Structure 1
Amino acid sequence: MALPPLSIQGDLGVVSAAGVRYAYPLLKSFAKMGPQGVLGATKLLRPFSEIVDSLGLKDPFIRNWVDLLSFLLAGVKSDGVLSAEMIYMFAEWYKPGCSLEYPVGGTGALVEALVLRFSF
């Protein structure tokens, strides 16, 4: 069962955004996962850094890499991004044939193109 990322939020609005619209598929998924899956689902709304911590990752390079990916995706480090968002993106990045694209000329080329386009 997949939920659109915008339907996952950390407040009571999740009831209307995801709970009502996706109630049947959610209940079906929870029934399939059992109690452990249902209780673990709340971790999706926690910061991704908590999952990284629970895995015991101490290597500074790996932790910085995770922070970099979090920042590139959401504009915040791993302690500020929802686990659901990062888990979804890791699942997408590691599908067969998938690649993480990078703009030719780097991100600076994007800025230059925007400045060129919107300069009057």
Structure 2
Amino acid sequence: MENGRHRVVKHFRFTETEAAKLRKLAKEFNMTESEYIRLLLNNKPSDYLEIRIMLSNLINEVNHVGNNINQIARKNNAGFYSRNDMESLRAYMRKLIMSTREVEKCIGSYEGS
């Protein structure tokens, strides 16, 4: 890539099935077909689409759990902390740990690919 522009044009032949699969995958990940092919060519583990989606979902989960923990901490600081809050906090932490382990397990299986 020179000056941030893609200048070389390549023409490829695909079967109808292959072309449909490329269209579907690119659309599924909100990319153009060219972007999708370039992503596959770079082939860095962090670029695997499935891993990017899993990490994005994990980040969202962490943000939600963090928000809930902040609410519990606010109640604690105001003197309204209850046993239910403690149980909720433990449940959020278990959920976070399980989500992290699930992503870790999936990413580990990609490293051997």
User: What's the TM-score bracket when you normalise by the shorter of the two chains?
Assistant: 0.3 to 0.5
TM norm structure 2: 0.33
User: Which structure features the higher share of helix residues?
Assistant: 2
Q: Of the two, which has the highest radius of gyration?
A: 2
TM norm structure 1: 0.32
